[in-house]
Structures are given as structure tokens and as C-alpha cells.
A and B are shown apart, each in its own frame.
Chain A
Amino acid sequence: MTCLCFLCVSRDYDELSSIMAVCIAVIAKENYPLYIRSVPTQNELKFHYTVHTSLDVVEEKISSVGKALADQRELYLGLLYPTEDYKVYGYVTNSKVKFVIVVDSSNTSLRDNEIRSMFRKLHNSFTDVMCNPFYIPGDPIQSKAFDSMVSAMMVQAC
């Protein structure tokens, strides 16, 4: 019965407009921001605070890895915490670099799978940055390619 119910639900989703991430951040293993970008319309500082605070949960999840089983040790950390207005998702690379995506709570079109794929995109793009000879590991990310990829994730289509 459950399955049935969700079938119909997902059908209803399709025609929804999609607002993508409102803030995307890359954070070094030492927890300082390598890259952080948010929707220009909203208060940048607020996002910085949100992202920074979310590191708490990220660390919590990472540290719990020891106990966790292999299948729970995936890089995607899932929903870090919801706030009234935002949902904050986390992802950590094996190099302990953290990605954080903040999504507007009103945005229901983005569910786990979409978020996952966004993180994958981020990770791939970040890897390219790392492999770029002009990038010094540990420096803030200036790569245009990375930037445009991120802004693609933040465009509002509706």
C-alpha cells in the first residue's frame, strides 16, 4: 500500500517548478571556506553562518564513521539539519573536503536523488580544480569552470 501511495505522489511532482540550491559551499579539511557562493538576492552573511554551523553536524557524522558499516560510509551525508527556511545537505570527500548545499525549504522538487547528483557534480568539478596546475591546494577556489558549474546549480527555473 505504501508503495502505491508514493507512486501516485511522485507522479504529482513532475509538473512542479524547480528552484535549485540557494547556497553552495566548499570547505577545506581545516574547516575554512575554499569557496562559498549564495543567491545574490539574499543575505550572504546569513548563509555563511548557516554553512559554518552545519560543520558541527558534518563532523558529528564523520566521527561516527568508525562504528558505521561500509554501506553507511558513503560520501553523501544527507540532510544535516533543517531550519524553518532552509534544508542543509552535506557531503564529504575522502580528502575531508566538505561540500554543503543549502536549499530553500519551500523547494520540494529537490529530493535525495537530486541532491546526490548535485553533490556528484560538485565533487567531479572540484577534482578537476585539484588537478589543475594553476591551483595551489588549500587556496580559495577561483576556477571559472567551477564557478559556472555552481551557478548552473543555483539558477532558478520557473
Chain B
Amino acid sequence: MADEALFQFLHNEVIQYVYKSAENGEMENGRCITRLENMGFRVGQGLIERFTKDTARFKDELDIMKFICKDFWTSVFKKQIDNLRTNHQGIYVLQDNKFRLLNQLSAGKQYLEHAPKYLAFSCGLVRGGLSNLGVKSIVTAEVSVMPACKFQVMIQK
């Protein structure tokens, strides 16, 4: 489908752009990830507003996380999260075995060092979405073998 392709291409370009501008010294390199994440944050806020327009009110935190894993993920990444785990103390781990934004990168360890920049935006998406649902959180990510990856959501009580 064209639209999903479009998102991916745009996403890649954004990353390209951010890192280029970092090289040109418009901002220090360390900030790139943060910057991408912030972009994601704003997008996430908007998205969640749309996606939850017709859903019932959420029961609780877990209810929200489920929504993120199912509906949200499906509408953004065209698949559901494969596995959601939680310690019931505000930490959730979302496992995607075939993360769409890494899928094109590689299957295995090649380009592994570049993986993080392709996750930052998505981290932001999730954080933005959650925060707009009134859940303050910190979202981090981890990849060991692409295209699988883990997102960790740490809820701020």
C-alpha cells in the first residue's frame, strides 16, 4: 500500500535529515535521538487523539497499554505487538518480532549499530500517545537481532 510505504520513506528521510544537520553542526550529535523522539511525541499526541475518538473510555492503565499494543500498533505499523509483559508496577515491555521500521534495514546483526535512530521516533510516538491519554512515561527501546525489537515503557507515577 502506498500510504504505509510513504510513512516509511518519510521516516527514513527525517532521520537522514536530522543526522545530516547534526553533522553540519546545527546541533550536537547526542541530541539527534532526543530530537527524533520529540518529533514522535508530538505525532503520537495527534494520532492517539484520532484513534481513540470512537473507542470506549479506558478502564485502567493496562487497558490503555492493550490499546497501544493492538489498535494503535496496527494502525501505525500494520501489525500488533507480539508480546506485552508487565511487572504490574508501571513497567511494560512491548515485543515486536517484525518491527516494520526495521524490516527493510536488515534481518540479523547487519547495520545493528544504526538501529537506534530508527526506533527513536517510535519511542516518541508511544510516549506521546500515552501522555495524551494522561499516562506520563519514559519509553526506551532495544534491538539485538533485527527486525525484532523491544520497547520498554516506564510509567511515571
Q: Are B45 and A94 interface neighbours, CB within 8 A?
A: no
Determine the distance from Cα of A126 to Cα of B60 in the docked complex, in whole angstroms.
24
CB distance from B44 to the nearest CB of A (A): 10
Q: Are B59 and A94 interface neighbours, CB within 8 A?
A: no
Q: Are A131 and B57 interface neighbours, CB within 8 A?
A: no
Give the A interface residue count (CB, 8 A). Answer: 21
A82 an interface residue at 8 Å Cβ cutoff? no
Determine the distance from Cα of A137 to Cα of B58 in the docked complex, in whole angstroms.
21
User: Which residues of B, 90-106, contact A by the 8 Å Cβ criterion?
Assistant: none
Chain B residues in 8 Å Cβ range of A130 = 45-46, 49-50
B132 an interface residue at 8 Å Cβ cutoff? yes
B15 an interface residue at 8 Å Cβ cutoff? no
User: Which residues of B, 27-60, contact A by the 8 Å Cβ criterion?
Assistant: 42, 45-46, 48-50, 52-53, 55-60
B134 an interface residue at 8 Å Cβ cutoff? yes
Which of A29, A62, A131 counts the most B-chain CB atoms under 10 A from its CB? A131
Q: Are A95 and B48 interface neighbours, CB within 8 A?
A: yes
Q: Are B46 and A94 interface neighbours, CB within 8 A?
A: no
Chain A residues in 8 Å Cβ range of B49 = 93, 95, 126-127, 130-131
Q: Are A93 and B46 interface neighbours, CB within 8 A?
A: no
Q: Which residue on chain B has the smallest CB distance to residue A61?
A: B57
Q: Are B52 and A94 interface neighbours, CB within 8 A?
A: yes
Known A29-B134, A94-B133, A95-B132; judge A73-B56 contact (CB<8 A).
Answer: yes
Determine the distance from Cα of A114 to Cα of B42 in the docked complex, in whole angstroms.
33
Known A65-B59, A66-B59, A94-B58; judge A137-B53 contact (CB<8 A).
Answer: no
Known A29-B134, A130-B45; judge A92-B57 contact (CB<8 A).
Answer: yes
CB distance from A10 to the nearest CB of B (A): 27
Q: Are A137 and B45 interface neighbours, CB within 8 A?
A: yes
Which of B48, B52, B56 counts the most A-chain CB atoms under 10 A from its CB? B56
Chain A residues in 8 Å Cβ range of B53 = 93, 123-124, 127
Binary interface encoding of chain A residues 63-89 relative to chain B, with 1 for a CB under 8 A from any of its CBs, else 0: 001100011011100000000000000
CB distance from B33 to the nearest CB of A (A): 22
Chain A residues in 8 Å Cβ range of B133 = 94-96
Minimum-distance CB pairs A-B, first 5 = A94-B52, A73-B56, A130-B49, A131-B46, A73-B57
User: Could you list 27 A-B pairs, sorted by A, with CB under 8 Å?
Assistant: A65-B58, A66-B60, A70-B56, A71-B56, A73-B56, A73-B59, A75-B56, A75-B57, A92-B57, A93-B53, A94-B48, A94-B55, A94-B58, A95-B48, A95-B132, A95-B134, A96-B133, A126-B49, A127-B49, A127-B50, A130-B45, A130-B46, A131-B46, A131-B49, A131-B50, A137-B42, A137-B45
